[in-house]
Amino acid sequence: MQPTSELAGSVLKARTFGSMGTVISLTVPARALGTAAVPGTAGGGERELDAAAAAVERVFARADETFSLYRPDSEASRLARGELSLRAASAGMRDRYADALSWRLMTEGAFSPERPDGVLDLSGIIKGYAIGQAGAALRSRGITDWCLNAGGDVLVMGSPVPGSGAAWAAGVVDPLDRSALLSAYGLGGPGTRWALATSGSAERGDHIWTAGSRGVEFAQVSVAAADIVTADVLATAIVAGGTAMLHRATDGWDIDVLVVRRTGELLATPGFRA
């Protein structure tokens, strides 16, 4: 874990915008941006960052238009109202639905694309999917060092100090004191985990439905994985499925997990151990 203060000579530049009811932040080392590091031509790097952020924003806007249930005109809302059948839905909608169903199988029902009232709600998988797509858009623009944060779910590539191999340091919020960090985790760099997602039982939205009638065991679950959809879905599934799902997840996937129980006690895989 390399603190920012020791990231010699590396300046990070960030852009933020709102989408899907949350805030998305793109952070890039200035050195990774074309001419930004050359004195007197800083404007070029800023423009490159603006263009990259715009590309990311387009990805999220497209996902939001199609999949958001709070937009009455979205394809998801028309499906929910029964005006559209899945068979007549777009290929993207059907693909995400298929993904969500396969996650439901793999998590033995702890993750589900259907609300208890039967309405199809893919929001549990769409944000992770959009983050992954945005990452692909950044790579296709030739940007190889970046950190993308969408409402607390993080995907990185490269390093905050281009070429150094240093990991991006991601803090995990303490659910009992949201102004403090509970822990930290090194993403990317020498490791093979580029994604970190956190789910909470008190979180916004309704896409976590607990399996069974008993109360939620975990206040917050963070999962580090190679890809953001796996991290996001498993974090959601572990909050919903409790201890049994936690063990299934750590046995079945190459992940690190940090759990905060409702009582405040912690459970962690070795990767989170100091």
Partner 1 sequence: MRTRAAVSAALASAGILIAGWQSGVHIADSSSAVASAATGTAGSTGMGTGTGTGTDDSTASSGSSGAGTTGAAGASAKAVGTYAGSVVQTRFGSVQVQITVQAGKITDVTALQLTDAERKSVQISNRAAPLLRDEVLQSQSADVQTISGATVTSDAYLNSLQAALDAANL
Q: Which amino acid is at 38?
A: V
Tokens at 147, concatenated: 């950190």
Tokens at 233, concatenated: 């879905």
100 belongs to the binding site for partner 1 (CB under 8 A): no
In whole angstroms, how close is the CB of 28 to partner 1 at the nearest point?
Answer: 9
C-beta of 178 vs 214, nearer to partner 1: 178
Query: Binding residue for partner 1 (CB under 8 A) from 1, 88, 98, 244?
Result: 1
DSSP 191-204: SS--EEEEEETT-S
239-242 contact pairs (CB < 8 A, 24+): 239/199, 239/200, 239/201, 239/208, 239/210, 240/110, 240/111, 240/208, 240/209, 240/210, 240/211, 240/216, 241/107, 241/108, 241/109, 241/110, 241/210, 241/211, 242/210, 242/211, 242/216, 242/217, 242/218
272 belongs to the binding site for partner 1 (CB under 8 A): yes
Question: Is-contact 169 4, C-beta < 8 A?
Answer: yes
Whole-angstrom distance, CA of residue 48 vs CA of residue 147:
15
172 belongs to the binding site for partner 1 (CB under 8 A): yes
Query: Binding residue for partner 1 (CB under 8 A) from 58, 152, 164, 209?
Result: 152
Query: Binding residue for partner 1 (CB under 8 A) from 36, 63, 80, 182?
Result: 182
Pick out residues in 211-250 that bind partner 1 (CB under 8 A): 220, 222, 246-247, 250
The residue count for binding partner 1 (CB under 8 A) is 69
Query: Binding residue for partner 1 (CB under 8 A) from 147, 228, 229, 233?
Result: 147
Tokens at 266, concatenated: 């912690």
Do the bridges between strand 256-261 and strand 266-268 make them parallel or antiparallel, or are there none, so unpaired? Answer: antiparallel
C-beta of 89 vs 272, nearer to partner 1: 272
Tokens at 24, concatenated: 């998305």
In whole angstroms, how close is the CB of 185 to partner 1 at the nearest point?
Answer: 7
Query: Binding residue for partner 1 (CB under 8 A) from 85, 140, 179, 213?
Result: 179
In whole angstroms, how close is the CB of 88 to partner 1 at the nearest point?
Answer: 31
In whole angstroms, how close is the CB of 220 to partner 1 at the nearest point?
Answer: 6
64 belongs to the binding site for partner 1 (CB under 8 A): no
CA gyration radius, the chain: 19
158 belongs to the binding site for partner 1 (CB under 8 A): no
Binding site for partner 1 (CB under 8 A): 1, 3-5, 12-16, 18, 21-23, 25, 27, 147, 149, 151-154, 156, 160, 168-173, 175, 178-185, 196-200, 202-205, 220, 222, 246-247, 250-251, 254-259, 265-274
